[in-house]
Amino acid sequence: MVPNPLALIAEVTHRCPLHCVYCSNPLELAGTKNELSTEEWTGVFQQCGKLGMLHAHFTGGEPLARTDLTELISAARAAGLYTNLITSGIGLNEQRLQTLVDAGLDHIQISFQDSREAAANWIAGAKAHAHKIELSREIRKHKIAFTVNLVVHRQNLDHLEEMIAFIEQLNPERVEIAHAQYYGWALANRVALLPTRAQLEKAVAIVADAEQRLAGRMRIDSVVPDYYAKYPKACMGGWGRRLMLINPAGKVLPCHAAEVLPGMSFENVREKTLDWIWQESSSFRKFRGEDWMPEPCRSCDRRSEDFGGCRCQAYLLAGSDMVTDPACSLAPSHGIVETVVREANADTAVAQLAPASSFVQLQKQTTDLWSYRTNPE
Amino acid sequence: MAVPADTSQPRLAAGCRWGPETKTGAGEERVILFPEGAIKLQGTGRQVLERCDGQRTFGEIIAELQKQFGTADPAKIRGDISQFLEQLQKKRIVDY
């Protein structure tokens, strides 16, 4: 028996009014028709409660696109879970917020794309910024936890101080300063998003200063982008160790990106119990423990800290999910990341790319355009 | 931010709440749930936080626990509890 998961990431829909160029959703989005029903999600939350899981993170897409979100929050809370809504805020007004709070919402997390309205709307591919500010004021009238999530990258890092000052005014308890992670849409748009080393170093200093200045008022959680790190991130706290993600169609995954891995099949909550999937399924067992590990991980002192890094990144960058994450400086394939980083620093100008006109252009992986996230069928 | 003043009324911050009580080998424990995490509490930590109800003042909490742990150095009890709450305040789990 492995210990049960701590938290569920519930991707309740892939529909979204925003089209962020760094979206973590897979390029192949789950269709609307196949989404789990209210009853099916309720069954999922009940199973999570019985497994002793603590948190349910509602994400998407945009969870508010589900008209039954109130019932879903209420069901998760009734099952004993701490409920967190990760949202753009589009589709939320004063009244609906009150309904969600009444249903037992514990924590709301709003993403901001920038402090500057035009830039924020440009990154999101939607006019959302002004509404988010208004909504943040509304949120502070309720006794729920409020986090602002800020994704940072090449296009906005140069005014990080301004963005932190902007967030201070929104008065959240917590801010996440998250460097874009290169999967899904962000990988397709990496050239436009990967920061320079100078940008990164300056950002680290700014964040450290803000942490000290804001201690006790606003907690800052931040992560260094792994392309610039010496060792890889312990992705999701290790494969099948802490977290379980369920996609809109009921597929149970160890992480956001796992569906890209070739030759793997993932179980569905419509067919199997969560307990069985966690304990017994071949997908969750595949990279659990150390038996699968290649060298240099197998004999590395850090293997129980970073678990060989991210399996999806190993596949996406090095072509195999069985090798050390190329973000690791000890990985045989680290040269791949070094090359990308070198290119990102060769020209330190921040070129603003024009949007690709179609999904077809994205699939060609052009480097002179960027691609807004599309919507599922 | 500094350590709590005697007249402050420590309480759980917005969106932080007690989770279920579970029996473990080490005795009963409770968890506090908060954004992106949880802490398991037993023993003294639990006794301190259960008193952080927004009613009792920090001074009263200290006095209650000093009385309860009569044999220990009262100054040390005060110092330990101050530090404990200050840490939780930085994590935005406790307000005072």
- The per-residue pLDDT for range A255-296, each reduced to its tens digit, is 999 999 999 999 999 999 999 999 999 999 999 999 999 999
Chain A partners within 8 Å of B89 (Cβ): 216
Chain B partners within 8 Å of A52 (Cβ): 22
Average pLDDT score over residue span A60-67: 96
CB nearest to B14's CB, from A173, A215, A218: A173
- Test mutation, B33, B40, B86, chain A, max A CBs within 10 A: B33
Q: Residue A104, exposed/middle/buried by CB under 10 A (0-12, 13-18, 19+)?
A: middle
Q: What is the share, in percent, of chain A residues with pLDDT greater than 70? A: 94
Within A174-310, where are the H helices? 184-188, 190-193, 197-214, 274-280, 282-285, 303-306
Structure tokens, A151 = 């994704």
Structure tokens, A297 = 């991980």
Structure tokens, A333 = 């394939």
- The per-residue pLDDT for range A174-209, each reduced to its tens digit, is 999 999 999 988 998 898 899 999 999 999 999 999
Residue pair B89/A216 in contact by the 8 Å Cβ criterion: yes
C-alpha distance from A96 to closest chain B C-alpha (Å): 18
Residue pair B58/B8 in contact by the 8 Å Cβ criterion: yes
Q: What are phi and psi of A267, to 5 degrees?
A: -75, 165
Confidence of residue A361 (pLDDT cuts 50, 70, 90): very low
Chain A partners within 8 Å of B31 (Cβ): 54
Confidence of residue A243 (pLDDT cuts 50, 70, 90): very high
Residue in chain B lying closest to A176 (CA): B36
Question: What is the rounded CA–CA span in Å between residue B49 and residue B28?
Answer: 15
* Contact check, Cβ <8 Å, B33/A144: no
Confidence of residue A30 (pLDDT cuts 50, 70, 90): confident
Chain A partners within 8 Å of B82 (Cβ): none
Residue pair A101/A146 in contact by the 8 Å Cβ criterion: no
Question: What is the rounded CA–CA span in Å between residue B89 and residue B85?
Answer: 6
Question: What is the rounded CA–CA span in Å between residue A187 and residue A337?
Answer: 13
Question: What is the rounded CA–CA span in Å between residue B81 and residue B66?
Answer: 10
Mean pLDDT of chain B: 89
CB nearest to B35's CB, from A6, A174, A216: A174
Answer yes or no: is pLDDT of B21 > 50: yes
Structure tokens, A194 = 């990967």
Residue in chain B lying closest to A147 (CA): B35
Confidence of residue A350 (pLDDT cuts 50, 70, 90): low
Among A53-62, A342-351, B2-11, where is mean pLDDT lowest? A342-351
DSSP state of A28: S
* Contact check, Cβ <8 Å, B90/A215: yes
Average pLDDT score over residue span B42-55: 92
C-alpha distance from B73 to closest chain A C-alpha (Å): 28
Please give the pLDDT value at position A115: 97
Chain A partners within 8 Å of B35 (Cβ): 84, 106-107, 109, 145, 147, 173-174
Structure tokens, B27 = 């005795």
Burial code (b: 16+ CB inside 10 Å, e: under 16) for B86-95 equals bebbbbbbbb
Average pLDDT score over residue span A367-375: 68
DSSP string, A176-209: EEEE--SSHHHHHTHHHHPPPHHHHHHHHHHHHH
Confidence of residue B23 (pLDDT cuts 50, 70, 90): low
* Contact check, Cβ <8 Å, A144/B15: yes
Backbone φ/ψ region at B27: left (φ over 0), alpha (ψ -120 to 50), beta: left
Residue pair B65/B59 in contact by the 8 Å Cβ criterion: no
Backbone φ/ψ region at A270: left (φ over 0), alpha (ψ -120 to 50), beta: alpha
